[in-house]
Every structure is written in structure tokens, then in C-alpha cells.
Amino acid sequence: MTPIIEFKDYTFKYRSQVEPTLYNIDLAVYPGEKVLIVGPSGSGKSTLAHCINGLVPFSFPGESSGTLTVGGQDPSKAGIFGMSKLVGTVLQDTDGQFIGLTVAEDIAFALENDCVEQAEMFSKVDEVAEIVDVKTLLSHAPTELSGGQKQRVSMAGVMIDDVDILLFDEPLANLDPATGKKAIDLIDKISRTTGKTVLIIEHRLEDALYRDVDRIVVVGDGLWRTGNRMSFSARISWKRKVSVSLCISRL
């Protein structure tokens, strides 16, 4: 099977940094996989996500070497808009992501952009609002919502767009444990029912593993480890040091 995301000997250095943040990365993610990425603060997890969705190098300039292919595209050529057709991103700080005056408008934004007919737009917004449990909030302003509600609206916004890859960068950061569990349940439901490829970056391991993932990629210093049914399909180096890469098939 061809990977949907493939980093090959990929190095990226932010223009303002002296050393590369990502160094010699080899990582392949296959269509439909649900991968959890964990690692210490500052290890480059968000940078990795930004390389996938095109924010690197278009919003965050720098130099890269090696290759990165996402859904057959090179994000550094496809641009942020081009990549938004393939990758949906939910950021830790959801506030900056809201565009619409109401929750409904916000969820419908991608469809409006694609000139989808109104009747279809209403029914699709209704459908995803039901899934993420924000149907009663459709006429509210996104800024009036709680952290958990904002998170769910953000999820609806990426679910409605017909993208193949969903990136969640610390989706639990602003949520209490109970709401965090709901968010993980929701991500799990999306992954199982849509067959989309899902990457979750998260510090809160225990909460993130509340539902199964296919693999865990650990970024940071340390040893290579193997165990039951593990395979080394990913290797991530971090600032010239060999890093742990732990790939678990079904926990």
C-alpha cells in the first residue's frame, strides 16, 4: 500500500533558528491509520503537523531537504489552500480557527467556499452538528462557547470538508478529563466510521489512549524498543540524536 503521508530523510529548519527542528525524519503513515504522536515539549510535533498541512513553509518559512509527500502532493508546492483540500487541522487553540459569526456559518465555511448548494449545505451542517453534539448551538457565536464546545465545533468544521487526513494538535489541552474523553471518543468515531487517516498529537497519554490507536510514534531522545507485534515503520531523529520510535499495532 502506498503511504498517504511519507517523510523521507526530511529535515526542516525554521529561518529564525540555527539548528533544524526536524532532522532526518523517515515516517510513513498509511491510509486509514490512526496514529498517536507523543514527545516532550519543543521536540517538533507541531512543526511536523505544520509541514503536513502546508503552514510550513508558507506561514512559517524555512529550509527543508529530503522529501515529503502528502496524498501524492508536495505541501511546499501545493500551498496552504491546496493542502486544505486534503488535510483538516484542529489546533490546540481553537479560537483563531473560527471564521463564521455563528456556529452554523463556521461549520459551513468550507462548503460555501466550494459553492455547494444551500439545501445540501443545511443538511450537511445538520448531519455533522448531530455527530459532534452541537445541534443546539448552531445559532450561537463560536466565541460564546465553552472550551469543549469550541473543540467540537472545530471538529465539525474539518469533518464537513471532504478531506482524507485529519490532524489534531493537542486536542485535549483545554479540556477537563471528562470532556477530553468525549473528544477522544469523537475522534475514534470519526476514524472508524469515515476511514480517514487520523494523526493525534497529545501530551495526555492516558486520556489519548482511552480509545485504541493503530500506532504510537514517540519523538524524543532514547532507545529503540520493540515488543509484541511492534514494527519499526517510523524513525524520527530529533536534533541529531536518535529517538525512540515505538510503533504498536493495535494496543
Ligand X SMILES: Nc1ncnc2c1ncn2[C@@H]1O[C@H](COP(=O)(O)OP(=O)(O)OP(=O)(O)O)[C@@H](O)[C@H]1O
Minimum distance of Mg ion from residue 182's CB (angstroms): 22
Cβ proximity to ligand X, 39 vs 148, nearer residue: 39
Report the residue from 24, 46, 149, 237 that binds ligand X according to the rule CB under 6 A.
Answer: 46
The CB density around residue 114, as the number of other CB atoms within 10 Å, is 11
Contacts to Mg ion by CB under 5 A: 46
| 148 contacts ligand X (rule: CB under 6 A) | no
If the CB atoms of residues 42 and 79 are measured against ligand X, the closer one turns out to be 42
Cβ atoms within 10 A of the Cβ of 162, count? 14
Answer for the pair 37, 43: CB distance below 8 angstroms, yes or no.
no
Name residues whose C-beta falls within 8 Å of residue 167's C-beta, 6 or more positions apart in sequence: 49, 52, 53, 87, 88, 89, 90, 199, 201
Question: With binding defined as CB under 6 A, does residue 44 bind ligand X?
Answer: yes
* 118 lies in the site for ligand X, by CB under 6 A: no
Which residue, 42 or 72, is less far from Mg ion as judged by CB?
A: 42
Please choose, out of 42-50, 67-75, 183-191, 221-229, the segment that lies near ligand X by the rule CB under 6 A: 42-50
Contact between 71 and ligand X by CB under 6 A: the answer reads no
Q: How far apart (Å, rounded) are the C-alpha atoms in residues 126 and 107?
A: 10
Q: Other C-beta atoms within 10 Å of 35: how many?
A: 20
Site membership for ligand X, residue 89 (CB under 6 A)? no
When the beta carbons of 24 and 47 are compared against Mg ion, the nearer one is 47
- Distance separating alpha carbons of residues 53 and 147, to the nearest angstrom: 24
How far apart, in whole angstroms, are the C-alpha atoms of residue 251 and residue 53?
28
- Residue 42 or 72: the one with the smaller Cβ distance to ligand X is 42
Contact residues: ligand X, CB under 6 A: 14, 16-17, 21, 39, 41-47, 60
